[in-house]
Structure 1
């Protein structure tokens, strides 16, 4: 005898399916907004040391620029991706504070440290205002500001925000690599190292390498965080000594 499913149960299943689909779609919109260059987090005020490298004649040709972008991504993956991953997996106040203090101790030059704090502070302020459906973001920011317990470094905050928004760990880490690539290539455009069309071509060409680097450094513990291209860190540390400069770092 064929069993006819109860219409009430079918209706509930459909409702749950619709809610799940709607939630996933809204999560995608939040993800796109977080990656949008219009989000006022101050990323375009920082060149990841590219301006200093250009004035030091380390970056002259398009091939030099391509190599520099790849090295920036390698450093980002090896040093910062573990912090993004840890914060995304445990998006709570205690983990965030611990990661922030550890990263503050690990960043070796003052220029890079200030850039990380400036971008992280801006991201936390924007996220707390934009993603109002997550009241804990505003509460965590207010408590941290009043206590002075954290420096607001960018990588842990990015992971924290993505974790609270419900993004998958893999998506979060690749997103962080993407915004890094986007910002350094944007800086190259503003420095007239490459035109807008050339920048788009470069980003597309580097994307497979960024994918490989993301896979290489993904899901690592913060105890494994390290610098793989120390020359870039040295160059960025010299940024504040430039006679004239367009970017903050």
Structure 2
């Protein structure tokens, strides 16, 4: 079993995975008044994590112990459900770079061969399913993969809020500390379904992401 330190390394924001500076709709939510107070921001974060548990985690969990024959179906299903063009392109770029990086860290997992297979079959190499698939092949436990993804999701949202000036660094990190208990409760209570039963539960988040391009001046790309 890989050591916890290796997983912490993969969760480091300095890891060069080719990620983009985007807020997943937070910037447009603040701009258009969907989030105005700290209480509303807490509700936003809770909804964001709920959607991650209901939509992303089924794909991550299924991919972590995926049978080879199911790969094309899982990737195309996820591809069909990404509705925001900017996030769609970012997901493909980050997925490709994530797989390339993990292949250098864990050559015994066969990830370089997987990347070539995806390119040959012209399958969409999205970040979320490849996150679960690569870490599963590298030997990490599914529960640790799930918790790490929620950590990344929470951290990135709070980092975006700090960069936007909505909250200060100390308040942001205190909120992150408080929300760890919430996402642990979400994981404990969640019935993680297979990817075929993944659901999107927060329509306003999708609307906010789509409206991002209408912001006059943007800090984030999308």
> What TM-score, normalized by structure 1, do the two folds share?
0.82
In 2 relative to 1, CA 233–61 (structure 1 residues): closer, same or farther, beyond 3 Å? Answer: same
Matched, 1:182 2:158: no
* Alpha-carbon contact 1:111-1:239 (below 8 Å) kept: no
Q: Which runs of structure 2 are paired with 1:1-249 in the superposition (5 Å)?
A: 24=1, 26-43=2-19, 45-90=21-66, 93-134=68-109, 136-145=110-119, 147=120, 149-249=122-222
1:49 positional shift:
0.7
- Unaligned 5+ residue runs, structure 1? 1-23
Please report how far the alpha carbon of residue 42 of structure 1 lies from its aligned counterpart in structure 2 after TM superposition: 4.3
C-alpha distance in structure 2 between counterparts of 1:164 and 1:115, whole Å: 23
Structure with max Cα Rg:
1
Q: 1:189 to 1:236 in 2, by over 3 A?
A: same
Please give the alpha-carbon distance, in whole angstroms, between the structure 1 residues aligned to 2:166 and 2:204: 20
State the TM-score, normalizing by the size of structure 2.
0.91
Tell me the matched-pair count: 222
Deviates more, 1:184-193 or 1:119-128: 119-128
Cα distance change on mapping 1:198 and 1:36 into 2, 3 Å: same
Deviation at 1:78, TM superposition (A): 0.6
CA distance in 1, matches of 2:121, 2:27: 32
Q: Secondary structure at the match of 1:45?
A: coil
Task: Kindly state the Cα deviation for residue 56 of structure 1 after the two structures are TM-superposed.
Answer: 0.7
